[in-house]
Amino acid sequence: MKNKRNYQGFTFLEVMVALSVLALILTAVFRLYSQSVSMLISSSFDMKAPFLAQKIVTEYKTDKTARFQNNGKFEDEFEKFSWKIDTEELIVSGYSDELPEEIENIKINKITVTITDNHKNYQTFFYEKTDS
């Protein structure tokens, strides 16, 4: 009569292959998680910055005393954000044959609003006719 052995359990090689596959899956999951967290942080700035810029633009247009201040920081929950306003006068020249005389003499300011946190910048601009 033959001596038959009935092996139960896994061999060392099977355990090592299973652990290798598990390690690959866990590495992919953790990498996906860390990318998701960094995208969440980035999208948080991308969502808040346009609204904060709009707030500064509105204050600039409505409050004449705000025009003397060209930079600052936000308060409360947006304390890590800062803002800056740059004004540049645009000169319309070289179009005397193409533009009507009343348009050619208009003075226009380009106002650039920059919102900054520790790592990223958001910049927008608008144009404003100056009084002259």
pTM for the model: 0.63
Q: Confirm whether 30 is domain-assigned.
A: no
Task: Please report the pLDDT score of residue 70 as a whole number.
Answer: 87
Which of 55, 58, 54, 53 lies closest to 116, judged by CA? Answer: 53
* Position 31 in a domain: no
Contact yes or no for 110/127 (Cβ under 8 A): yes
Write down the pLDDT at residue 132: 58
Count of domains forming the chain: 1
- Reading the block at residue 68, the tokens are 């003397």
Domain-located, residue 76 = yes
- Taking 3-state DSSP, the helix, strand and coil percentages for the chain, each rounded to the nearest 5, stand at 50, 25, 30
In a domain, 86, yes or no: yes
66: helix, strand or coil? helix
pLDDT at 52: 93
Instruction: Per residue of the chain (132 residues), give pLDDT as tens.
Output: 566 677 777 889 999 999 999 999 999 999 999 999 888 877 888 899 999 999 998 888 888 776 678 889 998 888 899 999 998 988 766 566 666 666 666 778 899 999 998 888 999 999 888 765
